[in-house]
Structure 1
Amino acid sequence: MNFKLKRIVFSYIIVVAVSLAGLFQGNLYATGKQKDKSILKVDDFKHFVDYFNRMEDENLSFAIPNAEAWDWMKANIPLFECPQDNFEEIYYYRWWTYRKHIKETPKGWGITEFLVDRPYADKYNLIACAIGHHIMEGRWLHNPEYIQQYAHVWYRGNEGKPMNKLHKFSSWTPYALLQAYYVNSDKDYLVDMFPDLTADYKLWEKERRNANGLFWQNDVKDGMEEQISGGRHERNERPTINSYMFGNAEALAEIAELDGDQATSKLYAAKADTLKELIDANLWDPEDQFFETVKEKGGFAKVREQIGFIPWYFNIPTTEQSVAWKQINDNNGFSAPFGLTTAERRHPDFRSNGCCKCEWDGAIWPFATAQTLTGLANLLNDYKQDVVTDSTYFRQMELYVESQYHRGRPYVGEYLDEVTGYWLKGDQERSRYYNHSTFNDLMITGLVGLRPRADEVLEVNPLVPAGKWDWFCLDKVLYHGKMVTIVWDKTGEKYGKGKGLYLMVDGKEVARRADLGKLTGKL
């Protein structure tokens, strides 16, 4: 029996054992094969995978080939159903494509960005730029080993030391690992990683921190080359790396507290507080009412770019700064027919660098879309503001879904034209299945509204506007070691369990309300 088949068989052995015991704890994972407790039937969604498998050639195959894709998905993913077919299709497509990027390495599981080899990648064709996205998306897989071993490879895969190109790109990895802990509750793993994460943070401080306390970065090493504000060699103070380092410091403070190390927790909390003050004082342009890049030579770059929304990914801004979000509904700002542009459309240098050399001067990049929509969900959940509503979030998710097609088939690539929706590298093999963004994390935490947290409160706040969908269901979500189901049934006729929004834990209802809105229950 080969390794891949062994993994699948082992998964199902665990499923049966755990189901019989009635427990979902520690690092055990399961498909939730408790038919009497599940709302959705898993085989009702197999047709998506059958279509994906036959719609085009299998260009490259790694740990889980197309032929094993459905078995892997049954064992690992939450199920989702809604009345809008394209949302469903892209949901399952993105899990199908994520699976393509899982690789076996001598050091554990790896997750790639490109399927084809890239000359600037590290060992095993791994690239550090999208580690945060890979972890945020992969935290919903029932098997936590994929993202946990992936982090081990990056931090310990070079003879016990970090990979050589871990610092080729800035990232928010400690923050993402903490967010994964909010899902899987694996405290021991997080505490074990703490020395690696703190050593890495200190290295970033040594390499990239200016005398004023802010961090600098070249746009290319943010994975965002040829921006209007930047340059491949300019050492600018950017909203990207400074927001990442704030989020990482906050995460390290919380991890230290989990380990009972109060002194280190206070140290990193102070680092986060200082960065928050510096970001507010130095990167917020009061004239443009936006977070902007500060040039190496001094002064704002005087261009609103989508990276100015990243501070909300980490809940850095004040309520008053919510005014920046007016720009996503402005056709002269970031609003375009196929989604959110990476620079404001009114700027004279918008799309000025030409086409197809990875320019971030206006075209739509899923990497940035995912960051912005995560920030927007935080804004709608954590801030009292009247600038945008759940209708804005839903419409942008709708555009995100609509953009993920190429020549009539599901597709995710590098970047696309904001007006035509044409994928600018869509006919290049390197671009196919580009694993450089999240989508299903946005569906789970934003649209359906499961808000992960460390305690035993199950919090849900769907961002589906009233009257948009009469029903939806997210089922088989392995969360804090329990199987969670979230159901909206306006009339009660779809699922036959009564009207309203309700939450179930291991098949038992724990909370209900009559309409769409925030709902909490006890795990």
Structure 2
Amino acid sequence: MTAPRPPEPEFARLLGLVPEGAGADPWYRANVPLFACADPVLERLYYYRAWVMRKHITFHADLGISLISEFDSPEQLYWAGARNTIVCASDHHINEARWLADPRPAREHLRFLLTDPGAQPRNYASALGASALGIAEVTGDVAPATALLEALIANHEGWRAGRTDYPHDNGFDPERGLYWNTGCDSSGEYNLASAQLNEPLRGIQGYKIRGGAGYRPDINADMYADLDAIARIADAAGRRDVATTYRAEADALRARAHAALWDAERGFYMHRWRRDEYADGDRHGAPSIRAGSFLWQTNALTRGVGHQPEADGRGRGRELTGLMPWYRGMAPDTEETAAAWQTLFDPEIFDAPFGPTTAERGDPWFSVQFDCRANGNAFPLQIARVLNGLARMLATHRHTGGMDAAAYRRLFMRYVALQHRDGVPYLGEFHHPFEDRWVVDRPIGSHYFHSSFIDLVITGLLGLRPGLGDDLVLNPLMEEALPFFSISGLGYHGHDIALSWDSEGARLGLRGFCVFIDGTLRHHADRPGRVTLALS
């Protein structure tokens, strides 16, 4: 029995969903796993996102490599690195591209970020070690990652050394055992830390955009993932000394970050300020923000702009990036921490029809504005990471905070609805969390490649959990309410994988949940569910 595959006319119709039309057929046919499902909106968006990815992969003939861009700009952007590369969303770029049949764009882009002198791999928080490992977990070939081991080590040592030449403000604090940076450098301009600051008193232009530096959940989660991935790559390279050192550092960071950044009162990972800062309403020489305090504790010594004493309770200080520890595998598997995920569907915190919001709705500095602001707007970059983290928790943790496949699909379909404009698939930069419109939609940011989607379909909805082992591990989160889905041509560890679900058998000709490896039916069940299969 062979894997069900839509007939050629159906293949052509699906490829016709991309803006280029069927004329782009050869590239998609050769590279993109074929996906079909009972939801035409989801199906169409899948192929639109394949088009967005292809649109941002550019072959540089003089270098002989392909690189992945974030903006669609023929001119060099002043805030970008060489060849308009921006490390900010590199995790999303590589997560998407690793599923192409040709893995070279993902590998070449990562190598460029790590080895080209102008690539600026630490201008924004990232975990390039985790990206290198992520490619290997899909292809099954760890050699390209081990070849980059020294570059990965050098990159992480650069993070440890840090930079404090404004606008850069990041590094490792050996006394606290934590990393710090600004919210902007973790992809969030005008975050809740920024919103509190008084730029004139600080005396640095643009300071309010970036936010004062802090020991943040997102940068520490990124650094944990980088340390852990380097240790695992070093294991594969036979470098036991490196593996032992980096694994110990990862474990120590995980413990320190939880002890320092987990706020038991609010049940969430929070930003702690690195230094004293001026808040709106302060006087020169009398900063009200104290080093080491949580966001919800600051600007309380004065009655500055936006300060609301009655809001000093639980409704302050949470940012969506507080869920990053799950995305990066840093959060402990406990009932207490897992309860943090309930905030996603709490209307007083992050819940929104086109959300979640980037900051909690009860905070006095929460705001939805037509600008690149992470203190209220819905941000695809962060939402994709949250979805990835939720799928990871559901697959690997015993405690899930009441979250399940239905909760994942609920959040995922909000993400689907967000990625439209006038009923047509579209990506801008920031979306209004409560209304069907983009609040940041510049020409340079049209079809903005700043998030992932195909990777979320594969690893979340369909549940393929990549790893270095010789097994195929599935934890599908597609609810049975969807009558059918099918994906074929999915390359994994050198094998051809196909998955299908047909509740009645009428659409695909094969009833139930089926897993095919290299064209052979290896698993057949009445409904989608967790399963582990040997690849060989």
Post-superposition offset of 1:465: 2.4
Mapped to 2, the partners of 1:372 and 1:448 lie a distance apart of 17
Matches within 5 A, 1:420-435: 420-426=435-441, 428-435=442-449
Which residue of the other structure, out of 367, 372, 375, is the alignment partner of 1:358? Answer: 372
Unpaired runs of 5+ in structure 2? Answer: 163-170, 195-207, 275-290, 297-316
In the other structure, the counterpart of 1:110 is: 67
One-letter identity of the residue aligned with 1:50: G
Q: Which residue of 2 aligns with 1:9?
A: none
1:294-309 alignment, distance < 5 Å: 294-296=272-274, 297-302=291-296, 303-309=317-323
Q: 1:42 and 1:390 mapped to 2: Cα distance?
A: 32
Residue 49 of structure 1, CA deviation: 4.3
Distance 1:495 1:68, change over 3 A: closer
Deviation at 1:401, TM superposition (A): 0.7
How far residue 45 of structure 1 moved from its aligned partner, in angstroms, is 3.7
Counterpart position of 1:141: 100
Contact 2:190 2:372 in 1 (8 A): yes
Q: Which residue is 1:30 aligned to? A: none
For residues 49-64 of structure 1, the aligned pairs below 5 Å read 49-53=15-19
Alpha-carbon distance in 2 for matches of 1:459, 1:74: 26
Equivalent AA in structure 2 for residue 132 of structure 1: D
Which residue number in structure 1 is paired with residue 394 of structure 2?
Answer: 380
Which amino acid is 2:86 matched to? I
Compute the displacement of 1:416 (Å). Answer: 0.5
What is the aligned partner in structure 2 of residue 94 from structure 1?
A: 49
- For residues 59-208 of structure 1, the aligned pairs below 5 Å read 69-105=24-60, 106-107=62-63, 108-116=65-73, 117=75, 118-158=77-117, 163-207=118-162, 208=171
Which amino acid in the other structure matches residue 317 of structure 1?
A
Q: Residue 129 of structure 1: SS of its match in structure 2?
A: helix
- How far apart are the structure 2 equivalents of 1:435 and 1:256? 31
Unaligned 5+ segments in structure 1 are: 1-34, 55-65
Q: Distance in 1 between matches of 2:7 and 2:272?
A: 52
| 1:264–1:520 CA distance, 2 compared to 1 (3 A) | same
Partner of 2:350: 334
Q: 1:233 to 1:341 in 2, by over 3 A?
A: closer
The alignment partner of 1:244 has SS state of helix
1:98–1:164 distance in 2 versus 1, CA, 3 Å: closer
- In the TM superposition, residue 361 of structure 1 has moved relative to its aligned partner by 0.3
Q: Distance in 1 between matches of 2:351 and 2:229?
A: 32
- 1: distance between equivalents of 2:479 and 2:72? 37
For 1:151 and 1:179, how far apart are their aligned partners in 2? 11
TM-score (norm 2): 0.84
Which of 239, 254, 273 aligns to 2:232? It is: 254
C-alpha distance in 2 between matches for 1:433 and 1:265: 40
Per-residue deviation, residues 144-186 of structure 1 (Å, max 9, x unmatched): 101111112112233xxxx352211110221022011111012
**For the Cα contact (< 8 Å) 1:474–1:487, is it kept in 2?**
yes
Please say if 1:266 is aligned against 2:266. Answer: no
Q: Does 1:398 align with 2:392?
A: no
Contact 2:3 2:521 in 1 (8 A): no
Check if 1:44 corresponds to 2:10: yes
Counterpart of 2:178 in 1: which secondary structure? coil
Match of 1:213 in 2: 177
Residue type of the alignment partner of 1:454: L
Distance 1:384 1:186 in 2: 30
Q: Which amino acid aligns with 2:190?
A: E
* C-alpha distance in 2 between matches for 1:345 and 1:508: 50
User: Which deviations, in whole Å up to 9, do the C-alpha atoms of 1:19-62 show, x marking residues without a partner?
Assistant: xxxxxxxxxxxxxxxx97562345524335435436xxxxxxxx
Contact 1:513 1:519 in 2 (8 A): no
Structure 2 counterpart of 1:482:
495
Q: What amino acid does structure 1 have at the position aligned with 2:397?
A: Y
2:103 corresponds to which letter in structure 1? P
Matches of 1:487 and 1:125 in 2, distance apart?
39
The equivalent of 2:360 in structure 1 is 344
How far has the Cα of 1:246 moved from its partner? 0.3
Q: Report the AA paired with residue 432 of structure 1.
A: S
Report what 1:4 is aligned to: none
CA RMSD in angstroms comes to: 1.7
Which residue type is aligned with residue 501 of structure 1?
F
Secondary structure of residue in 1 paired with 2:499: strand
Q: After the TM superposition, which of the residue ranges 42-51 and 287-296 deviates more from structure 2? A: 42-51
1:494 matched to 2:507 = yes
Query: Which amino acid in structure 2 is aligned with residue 192 of structure 1?
Result: A
1:2-17 mapped onto 2 (5 Å cutoff): none
Candidates 470, 486, 497, aligned match of 2:483: 470
Kept after mapping to 1: 8 A contact 2:191/2:211: no
Deviates more, 1:277-286 or 1:68-77: 68-77
Distance 1:503 1:472 in 2: 12
Distance 1:248 1:41, change over 3 A: farther
CA contact (8 A) 1:69 1:99 kept: no
CA distance, structure 2, for counterparts of residue 444 and residue 295 of structure 1: 38
2 CA distance for matches of 1:275 and 1:355?
Answer: 36
Query: What is aligned with 1:17?
Result: none
Higher mean C-alpha deviation, range 140-149 or range 316-325? 316-325
- How much does 1:495 deviate? 2.1
Change (3 A) 1:291 1:259: same
TM-score normalised by structure 1 residue count: 0.87
1:63 is aligned to none
1:491–1:51: structure 2 CA closer, same or farther, 3 Å change rule? closer
Identity of aligned residues (%): 31
Describe the shift of the 1:469–1:37 C-alpha distance in structure 2 as closer, same or farther (beyond 3 A).
closer
The separation in 2 between residues aligned to 1:407 and 1:229, in whole angstroms, is 34
Compared with structure 1, are the counterparts of its residues 96 and 349 closer, same or farther at alpha carbon in structure 2 (3 Å cutoff)?
A: same
Query: Could you tell me whether the CA contact under 8 Å between 2:179 and 2:220 is conserved in 1?
Result: yes
Match of 1:24 in 2: none
Q: Which residue of 1 aligns with 2:338?
A: 322
In structure 1, how many angstroms separate the alpha carbons of the residues matched to 2:54 and 2:4? 24
C-alpha distance in 2, partners of 1:368/1:505? 33
Residues of 1 paired with 2:418 and 2:377: CA distance? 12
Aligned-pair CA distance for 1:471: 1.4
Q: What whole-Å deviation, never above 9, does each CA across 1:386-415 have from its counterpart, x for those lacking one?
A: 521111100111111111111221101101
